[in-house]
C-alpha cells in the first residue's frame, strides 16, 4: 500500500516539476538560480539550499569542526577547564557544546544587540525551551498568537501560564499580572513573554507599556525577536531583559542554519543561561552551521530589505483581488497595528498572510496553493526561497472569517513572483466562460429544398 502511495506521489511530483521547469523558462536569471536546483524536491531531498547558494562553503577551516574530545596537556589544565567550562584553546572543555565557532556567533550577536553575552542552541525552539528551563518561572504570561511549538511545550510541561490577547495593551497584561501576583510567590518567579509581531497574524502589543509594567513589578521580560531580527528592533535597548532569535531565519538566510540564539541584557541572566546550556548540553551546534551564520549575518539587512519590498508588492496585489477578504501585515496602512509597527520596527520583512473569502472552500484554496510554481509549501521562513503555508485559526480571534494562508517572499525576482500568483489565481479563481458554439438555425431556403 505504501509503495502504491509513493508511486502516486512521484507521478504528481513529476507533473509539478515539469510545470515548474516550464514556468522557469520565462523567469529571470535571479529566479532561476534559486528555483532550478529545487524544482524536483525528490531529487533535492526537499532541501531549500542543495546548491550551497550564498557562498556557504566559503568559511574558515579553523576551530573544532565537531570534535567530541578536547585534549589537555596536564591535570592542572583539565581541572581549570572543568571548573570554568572553557578550554584554554577556546570553546568548551568537553564535546561540541560551546565550541569556538559557536562562541564567535554568540559574541557577534551579543554585540549587535548590545547584550553582555549570548548562548547558541540547535534551533529557535531549543532557544525558547532552554531559556524557560534556565529561569524556571512558576508562571508565564504569553500572547495567544505565540509560536505554536512553544505553546505545545508549555502544555507538555504543564507549566502554569496565562495567555493575554493578541496585540494586547499594557492594561490587559496588567490584569493578568495581578492574578499571577495573587499566587504566593515572588515576582522573579514570573516571566512575561513577548512575541512581536505575533506568529501568522502579526498583531503587535504595547511593548513599551508592558516593559514599563514589568520593570515596576520586578518581573523578567523575554522577547522572541525572530520576525524583526537585530536589523529592525533591538529589544535590550527598550528595556527587555532577554532576547530570543531563531537564526534559522534571516541571519542564516538560506534555510540551512538550524540554530537559535539567546542574548542577555545583564550579567546575572547571562550566567543563568550559560549554566543551563552547559549542564543540559543544548548548545551542540554543528560547526558548519556556525560558519555559515558567521558568513551571512552581516548581509541580513540587505536581504531583509529586498524581501520586504517584494512582500509589499505581493500584499498590495492580493488586497485588490475579489477572492481576498483581508491581508494581514502590520506594514500596511490598513493594519490596526500600523502605528505600533512604525514606532517599534519602521520596516518589515518578507511575511504577510491572506484571509480568503469565507465562501471559498478549502479545496479551492488548496488548489491555488498547488498551482503556484515558485512558492513552496514549507514552515521555516526567512530564507531565499518563497514559501506558502496555511495558518490554523486560534480562538478567540477578532479577525474576519475565512481561511488564512501565510506567504513568505524570498529573493526571487518580484516580477516572477507576481506572475506566479496571477497565473495561479487565473487558473483557480477565474471561471473560464468558454464561448458556446452557436446553434445554426436552418435557413428557410434549406427548409424549402426539403
Instruction: State yes or no: pLDDT of 6 exceeds 50.
Output: no
The pLDDT score that the predictor gives to residue 122 is: 93
252: closest CA among 291, 197, 205? 291
341: closest CA among 329, 353, 328, 355? 329
> Does residue 416 contact residue 28 with C-beta atoms inside 8 Å?
yes
Q: Give the pLDDT band of residue 136 (cuts 50, 70, 90).
A: very high
Q: Give the pLDDT band of residue 1 (cuts 50, 70, 90).
A: very low
The pLDDT score that the predictor gives to residue 2 is: 41
Q: Give the pLDDT band of residue 396 (cuts 50, 70, 90).
A: low
Instruction: State yes or no: pLDDT of 291 exceeds 70.
Output: yes
Q: Which domains does the chain have, with CATH numbers?
A: 14-52+300-429 (3.90.1150.10), 75-298 (3.40.640.10)
The pLDDT score that the predictor gives to residue 435 is: 44
Mean pLDDT of 199-205: 95
Mean pLDDT of 352-359: 97
pLDDT in tens, 64-118: 555 667 788 888 888 888 887 777 877 666 666 777 888 899 999 999 999 999 9
Instruction: State yes or no: pLDDT of 278 exceeds 50.
Output: yes
Do the bridges between strand 387-391 and strand 376-377 make them parallel or antiparallel, or are there none, so unpaired?
parallel
The residue with greater pLDDT, 313 or 76, is 313
Cell triple for 340: 505600533
The pLDDT score that the predictor gives to residue 448 is: 40
Mean pLDDT of 363-388: 95
Average pLDDT, the chain: 88
pLDDT in tens, 316-325: 999 999 999 9
Least confident of 69-73, 153-157, 267-271, 427-431: 69-73
Instruction: State yes or no: pLDDT of 415 exceeds 60.
Output: yes
Q: Helix axis angle, 170-182 relative to 207-217, nearest 10°?
A: 30
Mean pLDDT of 341-364: 97
154: closest CA among 172, 170, 138, 171? 138
Q: Give the pLDDT band of residue 450 (cuts 50, 70, 90).
A: very low
Question: By three-state DSSP, how is residue 299 classified?
Answer: helix
The pLDDT score that the predictor gives to residue 286 is: 83
Mean pLDDT of 49-59: 62
Q: Would you say the pTM of this structure is higher than 0.75?
A: yes
Least confident of 16-30, 61-75, 274-288, 298-312: 61-75
> Does residue 195 contact residue 223 with C-beta atoms inside 8 Å?
yes
Instruction: State yes or no: pLDDT of 434 exceeds 50.
Output: no
The pLDDT score that the predictor gives to residue 301 is: 97
Mean pLDDT of 336-351: 97
Mean pLDDT of 292-299: 92
pLDDT in tens, 158-173: 888 999 999 999 999 9
Cα dist from 405 to 135, 205, 358, 389, whole Å: 35, 22, 13, 6
The pLDDT score that the predictor gives to residue 427 is: 95
> Does residue 375 contact residue 311 with C-beta atoms inside 8 Å?
no
The pLDDT score that the predictor gives to residue 7 is: 52
335: closest CA among 326, 345, 344, 348? 326
Least confident of 30-39, 119-128, 185-194, 299-308: 185-194
Instruction: State yes or no: pLDDT of 445 exceeds 90.
Output: no
The residue with greater pLDDT, 51 or 279, is 279
Q: Give the pLDDT band of residue 185 (cuts 50, 70, 90).
A: confident
With helix as H, strand as E and coil as C, how does 379-409 read? Answer: CCCCCCCCEEEEECCCCCCCCCCCCEEEEEC
The pLDDT score that the predictor gives to residue 96 is: 67
Amino acid at each position: 500500500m505504501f509503495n502504491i502511495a509513493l508511486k502516486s506521489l512521484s507521478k504528481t511530483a513529476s507533473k509539478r516539476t515539469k510545470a515548474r521547469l516550464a514556468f522557469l523558462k520565462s523567469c529571470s536569471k535571479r529566479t532561476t538560480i534559486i528555483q532550478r536546483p529545487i524544482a524536483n524536491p525528490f531529487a533535492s531531498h526537499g532541501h531549500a539550499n542543495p546548491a550551497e547558494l550564498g557562498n556557504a562553503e566559503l568559511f574558515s577551516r579553523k576551530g573544532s569542526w565537531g570534535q567530541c574530545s578536547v585534549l589537555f596537556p596536564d591535570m592542572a589544565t583539565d581541572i581549570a577547564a572543568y571548573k570554568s567550562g572553557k578550554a584554554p584553546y577556546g570553546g568548551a572543555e568537553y564535546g561540541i557544546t560551546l565550541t569556538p565557532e559557536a562562541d564567535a556567533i554568540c559574541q557577534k550577536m551579543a554585540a549587535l544587540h548590545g547584550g553582555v553575552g549570548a548562548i547558541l542552541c540547535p534551533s529557535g525552539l531549543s532557544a525558547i525551551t532552554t531559556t524557560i528551563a534556565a529561569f524556571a518561572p512558576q508562571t508565564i504570561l504569553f500572547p495567544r498568537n505565540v509560536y505554536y511549538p512553544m505553546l505545545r511545550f508549555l502544555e507538555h510541561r504543564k507549566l502554569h501560564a496565562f495567555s493575554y490577547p493578541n496585540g494586547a495593551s499594557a492594561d490587559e497584561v496588567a490584569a493578568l499580572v495581578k492574578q499571577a501576583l495573587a499566587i504566593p510567590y515572588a515576582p522573579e518567579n514570573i516571566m512575561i513573554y513577548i512575541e512581536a509581531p505575533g506568529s501568522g497574524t502579526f498583531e503587535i502589543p504595547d511593548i513599551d507599556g508592558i516593559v514599563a509594567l514589568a520593570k515596576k513589578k520586578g518581573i523578567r521580560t523575554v522577547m522572541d525577536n525572530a520576525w524583526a531580527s537585530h536589523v529592525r528592533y533591538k529589544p535590550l535597548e527598550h528595556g527587555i531583559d532577554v532576547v530570543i532569535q531563531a537564526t534559522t531565519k534571516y541571519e542564516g538566510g538560506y534555510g540551512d542554519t538550524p540554530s537559535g540564539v539567546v542574548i542577555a541584557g545583564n550579567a546575572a541572566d547571562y550566567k543563568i543561561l550559560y549554566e543551563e546550556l552547559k549542564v543540559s548540553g543544548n548548545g551542540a551546534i554543528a560547526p558548519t552551521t556556525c560558519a555559515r551564520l558567521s558568513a551571512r549575518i552581516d548581509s541580513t539587512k540587505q536581504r531583509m530589505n529586498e524581501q520586504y519590498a517584494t512582500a509589499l508588492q505581493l500584499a498590495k496585489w492580493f488586497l485588490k483581488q475579489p477572492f481576498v477578504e483581508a491581508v494581514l501585515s502590520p506594514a500596511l496602512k490598513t493594519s490596526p497595528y500600523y502605528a505600533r509597527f512604525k514606532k517599534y520596527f519602521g520596516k518589515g520583512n518578507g511575511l504577510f498572510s491572506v484571509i480568503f473569502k469565507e465562501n471559498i472552500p478549502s479545496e479551492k484554496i488548496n488548489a491555488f496553493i498547488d498551482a503556484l510554481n515558485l512558492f513552496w509549501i514549507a514552515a521555516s521562513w526567512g530564507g531565499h526561497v518563497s514559501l506558502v503555508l496555511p495558518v490554523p485559526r486560534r480562538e478567540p480571534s477578532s479577525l474576519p472569517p475565512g481561511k488564512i494562508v501565510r506567504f513568505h517572499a524570498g529573493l526571487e525576482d518580484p516580477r516572477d513572483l507576481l506572475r506566479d500568483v496571477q497565473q495561479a489565481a487565473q487558473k483557480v479563481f477565474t471561471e473560464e466562460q468558454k464561448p458556446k458554439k452557436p446553434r445554426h438555425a436552418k435557413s428557410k431556403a434549406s427548409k424549402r429544398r426539403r
